[in-house]
A = this chain, B = another copy of it.
Amino acid sequence: MPEGHGAPVLVDVAALAGVSHQTVSRVINEQPGVRDSTRERVLAAMHELGYRPTTVARSHAPGRSRTIGVVAIGSALYGPSTMLRSVEAAVRDAGYTVSTESLSRFDRATALASVERMTAQGVEGIVAIDPEVDAATALQSLPGAVPIMVLCGGLDAIAPGVQIDGTEGAQGAVRHLLDLGHPTVRHLAGPLRWEAARCRMEGWRTALEAAGAPVHEPLQGDWSARSGFAAGRVFAADPDVSAVFAANDQMAIGLLLALHEAGRAVPGDVSVIGFDDIPEAAYLIPPLTTLRQDLADEGRRAVAMLLSQVERPATEPIPVRVVPDLIVRASTGRYTPRRDP
């Protein structure tokens, strides 16, 4: 190290390679207009010094901040947190800095405040993970300076040419149960502030109507096992209930316990289906039939799309549906008419 203290900086590399700082900068950024021999010399100098560009200085320089803001609902839920991790990783892998903000409440006001704060910090793009419905609409129609990618579990355009439709999966779940002979399917919805909850409910309703099956009023939970348990008690008390579609796996867990405690066998008396395929789903009692989305992949694709939008003029996505996979396990079975007592 030539200098006394800190890590080597760009000018140190330049001095060692016998070129100007700008040439080094060009090499770092893989810009054209550098003779190969020069490039090699610079590369060698960088290597010798163990040089690493300082992110904060790059961000600070006028022009590009190389920062993407990620604003997410700060829950411990499987879906959002999986998404968050994959989005953060994808952004970082693309060479951008991530600036995450976890909101305990992701409504219109908080969302706009967050976005404003982030743009003030100079982010070049924003990913919003699971905003509430009003926030999602507000963000999508923001005149804003920077591109915003909204991942709301609804009709998300996650890549140029690829859209994911939240209602499809739910329809598949319901059709599976109807195919098993169930006269109808009850629904335990998530909080309808969330697009994902609405879509799953919508899909459920659509599938029932298409099959001419009766549509009962859905119950509503808050995504937690606790709320699933409460709803499960209600369903368990009704002997006509033979199949339940829960909007996520956590609620399905609570459902399973409530049915068990009420002496209603799953799937003997009641079939249960969840959504998400959390890692534990296969090991519940009984193993849970559920719908799996490749959330990590979707996060990656969404980031790719955002970055392409950041780096060049937006391309309109062409709707091509991605549908969650139905994972059939032991919690769903043939309908057996209840024997009269």
Contact = CB atoms under 8 A, between A and B. Distances in A.
Nearest to A280: B225
A258 to B, nearest CB: 9
Contact of A122 (B54, B65, B287): B54
Given A88-B102, A100-B100, A102-B85, A121 B55 contact: yes
Interface size class on chain A is 35 or more
A120 interface: yes
A119 B59 CA distance: 17
Interface string A211-227: 00000000000001110
A206 interface: no
Greatest chain B CB density within 10 A among A55, A98, A99 is at A55
A204 interface: no
A19 interface: no
Given A117-B52, A122-B56, A257 B228 contact: no
CB-CB nearest 6 A-B residue pairs: A225-B283, A60-B60, A225-B280, A285-B285, A254-B283, A56-B59
10 contacts: A52-B120, A54-B121, A56-B65, A76-B81, A85-B102, A98-B100, A100-B100, A257-B284, A257-B287, A260-B285
